[in-house]
Amino acid sequence: MSPRQTGSSTQSTLFSGLQTFSFGCVTRAAVPLFLMCSGLLFFDPSRELDSKKLYTRYLPRVIVAMFAWSMLYKTVRLLYERVLTLGSFFQAIKEVLVFDQEFHFYYLHMILIFYIFTPIVRVFTSHAEKNRWNTAWLYGLYLAYCIPP
């Protein structure tokens, strides 16, 4: 008898679904945890953070990595679909330059924003009083939940 007839296929599918669900639950927290750890390190008042070093060393590294990997993905997709021409390659370059990239690069976009705004937010976090913190939290919640995307 085949596995489908004995019912083991149902068990196999169920086990595979549980594995996928479990793996997804564990790995989905990776990017938010990474951002929280970065925030802890960047906004720690006892750590010195040089804005010049941030903008001239860290930010360009992320930008170069993001554009290089995005072009690699676009080129491989064009090769796989067998539509690689000079025109399609230039179109891929345009898409990469306007951040029309693969979805899984969203964390790099978040890191870029994080790096750009860190010096400004760091000044606020090191000098803000409690009532300013409360106002910032309320404004952040409003932006996150009340304004449609």
**pLDDT tens track, the chain, 149 positions:** 445 555 555 555 656 777 888 888 788 888 888 888 888 888 887 888 888 888 999 899 999 999 999 999 999 999 999 998 999 999 999 999 998 888 888 888 888 888 888 888 888 777 778 788 788 888 888 888 887 76
Task: Give the domain ranges of the chain.
Answer: 1-42, 45-145
| pTM, entire model | 0.66
Task: Determine the pLDDT at residue 15.
Answer: 62
C-beta of residue 38 within 8 angstroms of C-beta of residue 114: yes
C-beta of residue 60 within 8 angstroms of C-beta of residue 49: no
102: left (phi over 0), alpha (psi -120 to 50) or beta: beta
**Sequence-distant (≥ 6) Cβ neighbours of residue 116 within 8 angstroms:** 59
d(CA 136, CA 120): 14
